[in-house]
Structure 1
Amino acid sequence: MKTLIISPDEARYLALINQGLDNYRQHKTKKDLLNIITKLGYVQIDTISIIERAHKHILWTRFPGYRNDMLDELIDKDKKVFEFWDHAAAYLPMKFYRFSLPRKKMYAEKYKTWEKKNKKLLKYILERISAEGPLQSRDFDDPKKRGLWWDWKPAKEGLEFLFHTGRLIARARKNFQKVYDLPERFLTAAVNTEMPSYEELAEHLIMKSITSGGITAENEFTYLRYHNRNITKKVLIDLTENSKIIPVKISNDEKTIYYSTTKILNKLNNAFKFSNDVYILSPFDNLVIQRGRLKKIFGYDYVIECYLPAHKRKFGYFCLPVLYGDKIAGKIDTRADRKTGELTVINEFWETGVKTNKDFRNIYLNKLNELALFAGCYIVKYNSK
């Protein structure tokens, strides 16, 4: 099939509209929230909460009226979202549940020796949850029994093993800790629990990535995700030959082959323009999480430095990328202190011409105030140079 050449502007446009960064003001309901999660394909969970938890920040970026109870209801009440693993810990739409099964099977096989050594522990955990209902890891912490096999640390390992192999499910989080339950008590009859073939899994990964990114490259849809490499390559060829997906190149990067669909590419048939909205993104946001893609499509080289020793950081512990229209305008090092109610902007690092743009500055300062409120603060302490 002939490869379609698109411009860098067109590539950014497709990326932004498929990431839900073009009409965020329209979202108002829990159904809208589910649609966002479904279109993104996953929402990453991370322990760092310098501003707010990653998943909350990602969803708030696209849904300013986001409330935690909305996500809680989608998981525990409506059974429309579940927690598992994408390329990292994540919330996923329940319609994708069956595609979590191959990784669970792989995990069980990989750690079968550990399972044999810990049969009594796993039996104990499952019996307690079966009898008592949903439990957290802290429910297994008994100071009187320290040092035995039901101690908290091995119990935590056992809970996570059972979670990653699908014998337990996380039906909620309390104080950011998983609440574990039996799948049969959580999943409804409507959930498809049929094990997909490797071919089905590959097509799912490809189409999910196209839906969320507009265009996607092979190294993007397989990024840290369990799959069969040879079968995935074959499925990619088959989908292309059957015109289900279209090979695409960006005019300033003819080495990278991307893939899209006719439906998505047809969005380029009409004239488009970028908004002048400002988004202060989480470092784990779906738009920026794959740094190579970000550099190729948006021309921005971004590194999160919280995992580096302090003496090796060039910018700051937790810099947030700032999107302005179709460009990454720069990044800001900031921190929320909910005790004092202050959101402190420690420093800013802007691309050329951004700092002197008055229109941008006004929108950005308003967005900072919105970020502060989202983070549980009411004052922006502006210390940047």
Structure 2
Amino acid sequence: MRAQLLDAARPASVVDVVRGLNVIQRYPYADIAPSADLVLWSRIGARYEPDDLQRALEVDRSLLELDGMIRPMEDLALFLAQFALPPKYAKTREWLELNHEFRDDLLRELYDRGPVLARELPDTARYPWPSSGWTNNRNVTQMLECLMMRGEVAIASQEGGARTWDLAERVYPEGLPVIPVDQALAMRDDRRLRSLGVAPAKGPKQPLEPIDVGPAGLPATIEGSDVAWRVHPDVLPWIDDDFEGRTALLSPFDRLVYDRIRTQGIFEFDFTLEMFKPKAKRRWGYFALPILHRDRLVGKLDASADRKAAALRVNAIHEDVPFTTEMRNDVDAEITALARWLGMRVDRVGSH
């Protein structure tokens, strides 16, 4: 809880949260609120405003968005050497080689017009991006993503939920050190583990920031689990300290609950994001929020924001353990706080 900034002592700023958590996923879906905003609200509380995040990303440049994740700007140094390497997958390398003129066209457009939305850039690709999925023939977006991971372009801002792009030299600061790849990867593993406290050495494959922490930290065991765990030495002094927790409603993409192996092994908490499941197969709701009470994950909140009615609709509160009166009061208070932060009233339409 302390590693994830979920103890009673709340962090002071957006930048403090991102540095402490290492990364925050920039998932745009907003049934209640965008995930990044929910993560920041759950740490900072009512003082947090989405404009604070936008200012840090677009004005102060103390944060950056890279590969779907919000990171401290200083961590860009951990990627600079990787940018110089060829893309990991042969398909990507071949596509870039075939479309070198398309790349040059986009860079010229950004030089002349940036920052600009992807949809405003011309598609001059001679060879379309090959995919059977949602990226099929999305040539401009795919090229921008590739160039971002080569350090040539960067996300400059957000406009109505869409990203604007510019040349990296106009977004990123000058003078950052280029840390060798092996050293940078080891530092990233260490920071990832520090932000989690305890984590599996090997996590499930993910499309964005991995959960793997590799050899970072020290080996650890969790009673009843056969997973190879690692613990960061910085958190060991906390074991004997008194812990003061609180109640929090978490985004389904919160790093505390994102790794289902870790969530089950540490908290014995069963949770899966069900928005992509048919309604009849959902157990907890379309975008259920895990409920933290002190040092335990105790349930899920099935709720949605009705913006036209200015109401946070509470469909159900699923109790993994029977709630005491104190727990119920604390959870109700947090739901009220969430609604107030959203500028809404609470509308209970389901069972508690």
Using the size of structure 1 for normalisation, the TM-score is 0.79
Aligned equivalent of 2:173, options 180, 188, 192: 188
Q: For residues 150-299 of structure 1, what are the structure 2 equivalents within 5 Å?
A: 153-192=138-177, 194=178, 196-198=180-182, 200-220=183-203, 236=215, 245-253=217-225, 255-270=226-241, 272-275=242-245, 277-299=246-268
C-alpha displacement of 1:363 = 1.8
Q: Which residue of 2 aligns with 1:3?
A: none
Q: Is the 8 A contact 1:209 1:216 kept in 2?
A: no
Q: Is the 8 A contact 1:24 1:62 kept in 2?
A: no
Q: Is the 8 A contact 1:248 1:260 kept in 2?
A: yes
C-alpha displacement of 1:225 = 6.6
Separation (CA, whole Å) in 2 of partners of 1:172 and 1:113: 30
Letter in 2 for 1:171: A
Letter in 1 for 2:173: T
CA deviation string 1:77-110 (max 9, x = no partner) = 322211112xxx1101122213334664353764
C-alpha displacement of 1:223 = 5.9
Root mean square deviation, CA, Å: 2.8
Aligned length: 338
Letter in 1 for 2:329: N
Q: Is the 8 A contact 2:256 2:263 kept in 1?
A: yes
Please say if 1:90 is aligned against 2:69: yes
Separation (CA, whole Å) in 1 of partners of 2:251 and 2:143: 31
C-alpha displacement of 1:75 = 2.0
CA deviation string 1:54-86 (max 9, x = no partner) = 11110110011112222222222322211112x
Q: Is the 8 A contact 2:288 2:302 kept in 1?
A: yes
Q: Which residue of 1 aligns with 2:132?
A: none
Separation (CA, whole Å) in 1 of partners of 2:230 and 2:327: 33
SS in structure 1 of the partner of residue 95 of structure 2: helix
Q: Is the 8 A contact 2:198 2:231 kept in 1?
A: yes
SS in structure 2 of the partner of residue 328 of structure 1: strand
Separation (CA, whole Å) in 1 of partners of 2:174 and 2:21: 25
Aligned equivalent of 2:22, options 20, 31, 41: 41
Q: Which residue of 2 aligns with 1:380?
A: 346
Q: For residues 12-23 of structure 1, what are the structure 2 equivalents within 5 Å?
A: 16-23=1-8
Separation (CA, whole Å) in 2 of partners of 1:62 and 1:54: 13
Separation (CA, whole Å) in 2 of partners of 1:217 and 1:19: 16
Q: Unpaired runs of 5+ in structure 2?
A: 129-136
Separation (CA, whole Å) in 1 of partners of 2:306 and 2:208: 35
Q: Which residue of 2 aligns with 1:67?
A: 49
Separation (CA, whole Å) in 2 of partners of 1:83 and 1:106: 21
Separation (CA, whole Å) in 1 of partners of 2:147 and 2:295: 43
Using the size of structure 2 for normalisation, the TM-score is 0.86
Q: Which residue of 2 aligns with 1:125?
A: 106
CA deviation string 1:25-44 (max 9, x = no partner) = 4x34xxx3212101111001
Q: Which residue of 2 aligns with 1:371?
A: 338
C-alpha displacement of 1:46 = 1.0
Q: Which residue of 2 aligns with 1:326?
A: 295
SS in structure 2 of the partner of residue 256 of structure 1: coil
Q: Which residue of 2 aligns with 1:76?
A: 58
Query: Over alpha carbons, which structure has the higher Rg?
Result: 1
C-alpha displacement of 1:274 = 4.1
Q: Unpaired runs of 5+ in structure 1?
A: 1-15, 240-244
Q: Is the 8 A contact 1:84 1:100 kept in 2?
A: no
- Which of 1 and 2 has higher RCO (CA within 8 Å, sep 6+)? 1
